[in-house]
Amino acid sequence: MSAASQNLARRSVRGRLAGHTPGGRVAGYAFLIALALVSVGPLVWMVLTSLKPASAVFNGPLVPQHPQLNAYAYVIGNLGIGSYFLNSVIVTSITVIGVIVASSLAGYAFAFLPIPGKRVVFGVLMSALLIPAALFLIPAFIELRTLGLLNTQLGLALVHTGAGVPFAIFLMRSFFENIPTELRDAARMDGAREVTIFLRVALPLSLPGVATVAIFQVLFTWNDLMLSNGLIQDRSIQTLQPALYTLVGEHASNWPALTAALTIAAAPVIIFFVAVQRLFVAGLLAGSVKG
C-alpha cells in the first residue's frame, strides 16, 4: 500500500473515531444538554408563571421573587378542576385497559395463530390508521346516540379504544413476533394450551410492548380535546382538556390560572412516563438486535 493510501486510511479511521475522543464527547454532551434545555424550557416557564401574579407574567423576572399559589387555589376552587381531573382519569383508565387487552389478544393472534385471511384483516385494520380523527367524529356521534351512550364517559372511552386499537395491534404484533419460537414449542411440549402460552410466556416477555402501548394511549386520550368536546356536553362529566380550553380568552387570558391548570394536567403524564420509562426504552429498542 502506498504512503498516500495509508494516510487516507488513517484519516478515515480518525474521522470514524472522532466521536470517541474527549472533544467529540464534549461536543456531543453539549448538544444533548442544549436540546434538553430547549425541550424543558417551556415546561419550566409554565411552572414558574403559575407562581406569579398576573401583573408580573411578562414584566417581572423569570423566577418569581415571591412565589404564590393563588392561581392553583383559583383553578381548584373556582374552576373545579378536581372533578374534570377525575373524569379524565376515569376515561383514560378505561381506554388504556381496553386497548391493552384488545391489542394483546389480537396481536398474539395475528402473530401466531392460523387465522384464515388474517393478512387481509390486518391490512384493513392498518388502513384505519390513515383516517384522521375528525372524519369519524360524526359517525361516532351517531353510533353512540343509537346505542344510548352519547354524553357518557363509557361512550367516550369506547371511541378512544376503537381509535387506538389499530396502532396498538401493530405494535403488539411486532413485539410478539420477536419472541423465540423455541419458548412456545417448549411450553407446548409441557402440555400448555395456547391461552396458557399467551398469559405465562408471550405476555410477560412483551411487557415493554405493553408499556409502549400504554404510554402512547395515555398521551392520546389524556390530551384529547376534539372527541371529548364533541361527544360530551354535560360539564359535570367532561374531561380536563375542554375545561382548560375555557381559560383561553379571545382578547385576554388569565395566564397564572392557565399555566397552573396546565401544570396540574401535565403532572400525571410526566409521572406515568417516568414510572415506566425503562420499559418504554426497552420497547423502542426491541428488535434492533436479533438473536
Look up residue 209 and give its three cell numbers: 410492548
pLDDT at 240: 93
Exposure class string for 115-131: b at 16+ Cβ within 10 A, else e: eeeeeeebeebeeeeee
pTM > 0.75: yes or no? yes
Helices (H), the chain: 3-16, 22-49, 70-77, 81-112, 118-127, 137-147, 153-177, 181-189, 194-197, 203-205, 207-222, 226-231, 240-245, 255-285
* Domains of the chain, earliest start first: 22-68 (no CATH), 73-285 (1.10.3720.10)
Q: By the 8 A CB rule, do 192 and 111 touch?
A: no
pLDDT at 285: 57
pLDDT at 289: 45
Query: What type of residue sits at position 263?
Result: T
Checking 85-89 for CB contacts under 8 A at 24+ apart, the result is 85/240, 85/264, 85/265, 87/153, 87/237, 87/238, 87/239, 87/240, 88/222, 88/239, 88/240, 88/241, 88/265, 89/268
Per-residue pLDDT of the chain (291 residues; tens, 9 = 90+): 455 554 544 555 454 444 456 777 888 888 989 888 888 888 999 999 999 988 888 887 888 888 999 999 999 988 889 999 999 999 999 999 999 999 999 999 999 998 888 899 999 988 888 888 788 889 999 999 999 999 999 999 999 999 999 999 999 999 899 888 888 889 989 888 999 999 999 998 888 889 889 999 999 999 999 999 999 989 889 999 998 888 876 546 788 999 999 999 999 998 988 888 777 666 555 544 444
Q: How far apart are CA 269 and CA 272, in angstroms?
A: 5
Q: What are phi and psi of 59, to 5 degrees?
A: -100, -30
pLDDT at 58: 83
Q: For residue 177, with 0-12 CB atoms within 10 Å meaning exposed, 13-18 middle and 19 or more buried, which class applies?
A: middle
pLDDT at 10: 53
pLDDT at 286: 56
Q: How far apart are CA 153 and CA 143, in angstroms?
A: 15
